[in-house]
Each structure stands twice: as C-alpha cells, then as structure tokens.
C-alpha cells in the first residue's frame, strides 16, 4: 500500500478560494447592515425616552402610568425617578360576585302582625286536606299557650 497524496488541481484551489472570499464578503456585508440597524434603533430609543421629572415626588415614590384597561384588569408602567428603572405590572380587576338569595321550597315569611298570622294560619292545610283550625292538636296547643301566658298576666 503506497501513500497517496491527493493533489488538488490549481483550478479547484482557485474556485475554493473564490467561494471563501464571497462568503466572507457576504458575512461582512451582513455585519455592516446589522450594525447600522442597531445604531438606528439606539438613536430612536434615545430620542423616545423622556426625561423623568422627579421634582414633586417624595423620596422612594414611584411614578405610576396607566397604559391600558381591559376586562382582565389594568396594565400600568412603574418608573423609578432616581434610577429610571421601568416595570410593567398587571393589576387584576376586582370581580364582584352577587349571589341570589336561596329561598327554600316551603319557605313562608314570618308574619308581622296578629292579622297576618291569622291569615297565614287560614291558608295552611294539613296533608289530609283539613285546615289547621279543624285539627284537635292545634287547639290543644293553643290552650296550652293560653294557660301559660294567662297565668303570667295574672301574676303581674
């Protein structure tokens, strides 16, 4: 096995060198265009920033500027007057949940007077269809209350 030195023809070497020079030239052109874009961006940012007026602020007080408001909340920019640090903060909106009052099925509001109580008792019916006034248990309970409270009236 003999050693073989691949010989590169002069034409092939020249073509490689031309391609390398073209790639280098393209890279230099791209770098130059990026540099000009960055310089332009820096110039616009320097011109866009406004000097911060901190004369009327207390020490440590930040400048709050509302940027936008939507359903989710408020977006504001906070700026430190001494160092110029800027921060965006999202303040969520406060959602008020109003619940409907839950009224049970057989709910009856309490009567405010004796006449309301009597009309309420007249409207109530027992499961077998009788009114409350037709029930013996109702009258026994009324007599029990009458004896209890009539005795208390007599003691006074």
Q: For 125-131, what is the mean pLDDT?
A: 85
Q: Is the pLDDT of residue 88 over 70?
A: yes
Domain boundaries, the chain: 10-48, 59-92, 114-155
Using alpha carbons, select from 140, 111, 115, 136 the residue that is nearest to residue 126: 136
pLDDT, tens digit, 9 for 90 and up, residues 27-44: 999 999 999 999 888 888
């Amino acid at each position: 096995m003999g050693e073989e030195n691949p010989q590169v023809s002069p034409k092939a070497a020249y073509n490689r060198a031309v391609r390398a020079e073209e790639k280098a030239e393209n890279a230099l052109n791209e770098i130059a265009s990026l540099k000009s874009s960055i310089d332009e961006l820096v110039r616009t940012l320097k011109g866009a920033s406004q000097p911060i007026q901190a004369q009327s602020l207390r020490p440590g007080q930040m400048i709050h500027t509302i940027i936008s408001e939507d359903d989710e909340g408020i977006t504001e920019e906070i700026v430190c007057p001494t160092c110029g640090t800027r921060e965006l903060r999202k303040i969520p909106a406060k959602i008020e949940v109003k619940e409907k009052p839950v009224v049970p099925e057989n709910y009856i509001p309490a009567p405010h007077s004796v006449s309301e109580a009597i009309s309420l008792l007249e409207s109530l019916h027992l499961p077998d269809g009788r009114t409350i006034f037709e029930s013996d248990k109702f009258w026994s309970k009324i007599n029990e209350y009458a004896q209890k409270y009539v005795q208390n009236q007599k003691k006074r």
